[in-house]
Structure 1
Amino acid sequence: MEELYDIRDRRFTALILMNVGMETLWTGARWAEGPAYHAAGRYLVFSDIPNDRLLRWDESDGRVSTFQQPAGFQNGHTIDRQGRLVCCEHLARCVSRVEHDGRRVVLASHYQGKRLNSPNDVVVKSDGSVWFSDPSYGIDTDYEGDKADSEIGASNVYRIDPDGTVDLVIGDLGQPNGLAFSPDESVLYVADSGQTHDPSRARAIHAYPVDGKGVGRGVMFCESDCGFFDGFRLDRAGNLWTSAGDGVHCFASDGTLLGKILTGEGVANVCFGGPKRNRLFICATTSLRSIYLNTQGVSYYG
């Protein structure tokens, strides 16, 4: 039997359940991404980007069904504080939201009159602002969207205010990818997978102090020793659980690698869910996995 955990620090043993295994809930994706858990409905939505579909896993019976297809090559998702699904769309090059009555509302598609690249991941702050990353992956090829030139000419992180204003908040990363706030929202963590386009870039997650509507100077929080960091989420204690090339890596708030959950295939994104938010859902390359942990995810996003 293959090892499930790679323990690097004794603190990791307090966060995992040694008698609990990892479950494969579904398989059949080309590139599984963007999980978001809807607590009221007890279901999880996730993307299969190259197949242009959004899938739905039902917690009550374990079934997976097609939630939307075509789906605009959606990537990352989150659930806002009103229980609405916020989506990053590659094809339309926008961030959108699904209202309670099913209407699709575009929150942002341009910055200073130019089309966004391909919004990748998204999180909602407690003040109602929506923060998202905008790398070029959805316009680099026709595999995950429509190949096109970048109108902005850079890959950035933006904030959408409740009044609809779009502001650039981070512009010093190569390809900003996954992002999430610390539990108290004093820090914004952002993954940079820019080494895909620039070999000099570190495969890292950066930490930015949040300063009102913007951020201060960022510092490197951690580096990957296997593949690229993509999407990630934090638990209530401030530990960061991130996707990587060999599974899920867990970092303490001081940047120490505590341990890994080994999946046997690359992981793109994760989220916490379940009634107690102690179940980690894992979008691996071809599959949706889950594992129960001895910690709880931050409750304000899916």
Structure 2
Amino acid sequence: MLDKDFLVLDDRFRRYAMGNVHIEKLWTGSRWAEGPAYFAAGKYLIWSDIPNDRLLRYDETDGSVSVFQTPCYNQNGHTVDLEGRLIACEHRGRAVTRIEHDGSRKILADRFEGKKLNSPNDVVVKSDGSIWFTDPTYGIDGEYEGDYAVSEIGACNVYRIDPSNGGVTAVITDMVRPNGLAFSPDEKILYVADTGLTHKPDCSPDIRAYPVNSDGKGVGVGRRFVTCDQGLFDGFRVDVHGNIWSSAADGVHCFTPDGKLIGKILIPEVVANVTFGGRKRNRMYICGTTSLYSVYLNTQGALRPKV
């Protein structure tokens, strides 16, 4: 018997939504929860509470929650790099940074062609060590999630940081407000959500799919992959089967690799982002507006392919 909060739209979803498994509310108290990243070695999750300018830490061993870092430059999205270090998108810092093994903060990118970045939002590390991130204006649109400023670049792009020399290149320039992003399991497709509806009323709330070039350093022409039927897509993750698990206004939407919406995990708050964690990578952590939720699924988060 499936929990009432699993909405089955296609029988294929029953493969992933297990019976007698329930959505758990782990903690509440955020103003805008975002940016979850799981650290397997420490058995803990960190996530952002952007307006409160803090990172929170959930300890999987005992269920406790503590403040991991404050202030934190109004960090938003996070990921873990090939060496287990935290990569962060800073709204107020207007930078992508890395926490080194000794705890120091290293700026990886804060400018493009000599101009300040807007406010990096979400980030992913490819198997070659390159870092790909989105740069909309949400952190400089006002004072709530960062510091108000006028965009120096005048556009919102997706960028790549080269692992060999730290160079920053624009890889996608045709989106209104690029937001969440993830690679397919084989890294042949880069998926990117466009939340431009917040600024442009005719912008479709899509996840777009971009074919990755053969050299792995850029992408080809993108196409509409899926459109959100409840609010906007924000952050999302891909599982080992190539399914996309995306945030939305009513919870988490699951799409097959061919773009079919097969089911939803209903959450009583707007969801901003998700990630896979746990010993088997089969526990989905869900950042609702004010709360952290989790649910076990019969699938696992995709691993980077070996180079």
Equivalent position SS for 1:11: helix
Q: Which residue of 2 aligns with 1:184?
A: 186
Q: Which residue of 1 aligns with 2:36?
A: 35
Question: Using the alignment, how far apart are the partners of 2:19 and 2:196 within structure 1?
Answer: 35
Q: What are the equivalent positions in structure 2 for 1:234-249 lying under 5 Å apart?
A: 234-249=238-253
1:58 is displaced (CA, Å) by 0.4
Q: Is the 8 A contact 1:48 1:54 kept in 2?
A: yes
Question: Using the alignment, how far apart are the partners of 1:6 and 1:274 within structure 2?
Answer: 23
Equivalent position SS for 1:207: strand
Q: Which residue of 2 aligns with 1:49?
A: 50
- Of the three residues 255, 259, 271, the one matched with 1:255 is 259
Aligned residues: 301
Q: Is the 8 A contact 1:80 1:300 kept in 2?
A: no
Cα deviation, 1:215-257, whole Å, max 9, x if unaligned, reads 0000000000001000000000000000000000000000000
Q: Is the 8 A contact 1:96 1:106 kept in 2?
A: yes
1:208 is displaced (CA, Å) by 0.1
Cα deviation, 1:8-28, whole Å, max 9, x if unaligned, reads 111100011121001111000
Equivalent position SS for 2:66: strand
Equivalent position SS for 2:73: coil
Question: Using the alignment, how far apart are the partners of 2:56 and 2:90 within structure 1?
Answer: 15
Q: Which residue of 1 aligns with 2:90?
A: 89
Q: What are the equivalent positions in structure 2 for 1:58-207 lying under 5 Å apart?
A: 58-162=59-163, 163-207=165-209
The answer as to 2:9 corresponding to 1:15 is no
Question: Using the alignment, how far apart are the partners of 2:207 and 2:144 within structure 1?
Answer: 26
The answer as to 2:286 corresponding to 1:282 is yes
Q: Which residue of 2 aligns with 1:270?
A: 274
Equivalent position SS for 2:139: helix
What TM-score comes out, normalization by structure 1 length? 0.98
Q: Is the 8 A contact 1:81 1:300 kept in 2?
A: no
Q: Is the 8 A contact 1:98 1:104 kept in 2?
A: yes
1:299 is displaced (CA, Å) by 2.6
Equivalent position SS for 2:51: helix
1:5 is displaced (CA, Å) by 1.4
1:269 is displaced (CA, Å) by 0.1
Q: Which runs of 5+ in 2 are unaligned?
A: none
1:300 is displaced (CA, Å) by 3.6
1:198 aligned partner, one-letter code: K
Equivalent position SS for 2:212: strand
Question: Using the alignment, how far apart are the partners of 2:101 and 2:293 within structure 1?
Answer: 28
Question: Using the alignment, how far apart are the partners of 1:52 and 1:252 within structure 2?
Answer: 35
What TM-score comes out, normalization by structure 2 length? 0.97
Question: Using the alignment, how far apart are the partners of 2:200 and 2:256 within structure 1?
Answer: 28
Question: Using the alignment, how far apart are the partners of 1:69 and 1:7 within structure 2?
Answer: 40
Q: What are the equivalent positions in structure 2 for 1:212-223 lying under 5 Å apart?
A: 212=215, 213-223=217-227
1:204 is displaced (CA, Å) by 0.6
2:172 aligned partner, one-letter code: I
Equivalent position SS for 1:214: coil
Q: Which runs of 5+ in 1 are unaligned?
A: none
Equivalent position SS for 2:182: strand
Question: Using the alignment, how far apart are the partners of 1:193 and 1:229 within structure 2?
Answer: 7
Question: Using the alignment, how far apart are the partners of 2:11 and 2:126 within structure 1?
Answer: 32
